[in-house]
Amino acid sequence: MNSRGNSTDLRINGVKIEAEFAEAFDMKATRIIITGHDRYWVDQAAMSMTGFGTSVVGCGIEIAVEQNLAPEQTPDGRPGVSVLAFAVSGSELEKQIPLRLGQCVLTCPTTAVFAGSHESADDSNAEAKASAKRIPMGKSLRYFGDGHQISKVVNTRDGDARYWRIPVMDGEFICQHDVARVSGVGGGNFILLGRDIDAVSVACRAAVDAMRNLPGMITPFPGGTARSGSKVGSKYAGMFASTNEAYCPVLRELVPTKLHAGENCAMEIVIDGLSAQPIAHAMKIGISAACQAAGESGLLRVTAGNYGGKLGRHHFHLHEVMS
């Protein structure tokens, strides 16, 4: 999504779609499948594992549930979820994933863990697959078994897979040895602006609900939405990001503002994806839903956040996305 969108006026249900672009950047990613005896324990494990995973700025990782999985969609025929995790480096993923699995999933009754990523989309030959980067799962967690853990190699459609059976008080914790680390894209976004909190809140909820369970992407912020839109850098040393004052209503008379007349609230939806395509698709679905839900009740404009193209190589022009 790198060519310029045109400046022709575009509106959906009366809401102006600005001729602007969202700027996203390369990340490292992985997909993990968590299953459980029933949906309750699956949801508890997923909620715990994805907590404190909104932004790499402070959390080190951006992580959220991608999709709910029916029993026929999981390796062990039980209810499950797929979780996507993104980080700016492979080493950060390799640190975060075993920690979160050990503290949040190993501890959760009845759960099991499987690899959801197997190799990069570019790894089309056997040599590339053999050298694909891996993130430890059972490879690290097995030591909790204190010597009682058992390893087994199973032939699957994705090749031989090693699993660990770790004895726990409700039976066994089954965990795959490791999971592939693949390429990802982080920071896709759109900003919803309106007359008041009610209008923008309705728009955000409609957008996130419409994008929920789309494959290959997540919205990692609380409820999929961030009110604390940020810019790179700060006047304070050591701060990597700080408030984007151009969109803060209380500062509109004090600093150069990007708010238009009548716009008193702005919220941002940030999207991470396994590639550019699921981000673009999610943006189209989410923006359309937001405009339909709140276009007649106070949502005024949709724009996007960028840094003039200096932060990332992936540019999602709103007019192109919506075409």
Average confidence (pLDDT) per 10 residues, the chain, 323 residues? 57 98 97 98 98 95 98 96 97 97 98 86 44 88 98 81 97 97 97 98 98 97 96 90 96 97 98 98 98 98 92 96 95
Q: Give the list of residues 6+ apart from residue 85 with CB closer than 8 angstroms, or none.
A: 29, 30, 31, 32, 53, 61, 62, 63, 93, 96, 97
**In 126-214, beta strands by DSSP E:** 134-136, 150-156, 159-168, 171-176, 178-180, 182-194
Supply the pLDDT for residue 119: 65
Length of the chain: 323
- Domains contained in the chain, CATH given: 10-20+184-322 (3.30.70.520), 28-180 (3.30.70.520)
Q: Of 205, 175, 181, whose CA–CA distance to 292 is shortest?
A: 205
Supply the pLDDT for residue 168: 98
CA distance 277 to 119: 18
- For the stretch 103-120, pLDDT in tens is 999 999 999 999 999 764
- For the stretch 12-37, pLDDT in tens is 999 999 999 999 999 999 999 999 99
Helix runs in 131-275, H state only: 138-141, 197-211
CA distance 287 to 292: 9
Q: Fill in the DSSP letter of residue 5.
A: P
Supply the pLDDT for residue 311: 84
Q: What is the pTM of this model?
A: 0.92
Question: Which residue matches tokens 């907590």?
Answer: 51
